A and B are shown apart, each in its own frame.
Chain A
Amino acid sequence: MSGVLLEARNLSKDFPAGRKRFVHAVAGVSLQIREGETLGIVGESGCGKSTLGRIMIGLIEPSSGDVLFRGKAFAEMNGNERQACRRELQMVFQDPYASLNPRMTVRDLIAEPLETWKICSGREETTRRVLELMQAVGVPGEFLHRYPHQFSGGQRQRIGIARAIAIDPALIVCDEPTSALDVSVQNQILNLLRELQRKQHLSYLFISHDISVVRHISDRVAVMFLGKICETGPTEELFRHPRHPYTRFLLEAVPQPDPRRRTQAALLLGDPPSAIQPPSGCPFRTRCPYATDRCAGEEPRLQKTGGTETACHMTYEST
């Protein structure tokens, strides 16, 4: 088994929400990403998945807890180590319209990380490397001097990916990289990400609200609800035998592209609870049809139950 590349230990992040209140965006998350593997994070909006992704590559400081890169905590690194670590951790953003500077050409956009890290010597070598990267992500080289607005969403996302892989990172955090794209283009980007992973031995932390996308790309999946992981495990096991009630409702709610299988299943009622005043005990209990007094009083911890780990009192009893 390959080694652990990036690890979160009991991460929490609170954002001030005025009047001495706080949004508990991430509340005690621990997870590991091994080399060459894809960990998918799935959850609804406001569950803290994007905040978690940003903490994991050091864009946001956690309120408590540690992130460890190859076994060493961010907090313990000196300036040089921290700098070297940044190079290994890159990010691809959701909105390919907002994440590229509209006043820079494709050449300058992709050359920017190469120049920052002084990877190529001289302008010509840089341009040569930019062309190689464009080829790797499937953007024709003749578009070298075009601006972002001259490209479609899918091609812009390819440019964003070229920027991320330019400096040969170990891990890329992909935050909803296909959410802004049409389905046929979404598949092209997913294929590209997989191909790059094989060629360059990349690890991904893949964040998405789209369950079928996460299922396709991930080796392991963590389901988040209100800042906490409620279930995690190997992808196929988690999707075939979901144990946590929230995971089950989430999978059930995905509209299936099959008119013969129209969902009649019970729907999850209500809306996600507030992250400012989360419920006591289990965060899901206010929407959970199986909640008991115990769920309000005692917070469930992630425990191994069958093939996955779940944080639910009910699942411990049933196994």
Chain B
Amino acid sequence: MNIRILAVEDDERILTALTFALEDEGWQVVKADSGEVALAEFHKETIDLVLIDIMLPGIDGFELCREIRSISDVPIIMVTARDDTHDIVAGLEAGADDYLTKPFAPKELSARIRALLRRSRSDSTNEPLLRVGDLELNRDEGVVSLGDKKIHLTRTEFHLLYELAENPNKVRSREYLLEKVWGYGYFGDGRLVDVHVRRLRTKIEVDAASPQYVVTVRGMGYKLQH
């Protein structure tokens, strides 16, 4: 199966160089130099992963990310300005699964892409149903049922919930979750976990401000309360 990556970047030189590097990995690259073009391409083609530079003319990266997220669960990697914490958190909150800061090594990008794609593929293997209280995780569909309500999660959110649900009440550190869900080592960014937990809560909790399922254990990490 041919993997197709939509790369959105307004700097033509960077786009070309990245395309070369990604094609060397054996992936197909669909190029877009603006958010508008990217949306058009996304509707036209089957896309397995989207790479978005936040700084875009017209529709900016955050908006593009939200637009795509509203219609698809496709993994999204954001490219942010290195020195902007705000951009990183905003990008993750807009629905990105992971981020990279410029200038990054294309090898690092490939590793991130592989981590996200590997997860996507492993999602399609048959796994038994996981049940914690009212929560029912169907790994096959990437869908969570809460009572008789069906909740749609992105793959990363689902994977995160799954890691916690496998051992209810066991506290998982951010480092552990970063490694399991994103494939990061010690220097992974804990904000990835925090923002994804926030996103997860808005979907599965009755009141995201006082969570009943995904509980923060201060200074330790997170656990799924049962």
Q: Do A and B bind each other?
A: no
Residue positions of A touching B, CB distance < 8 A:
none
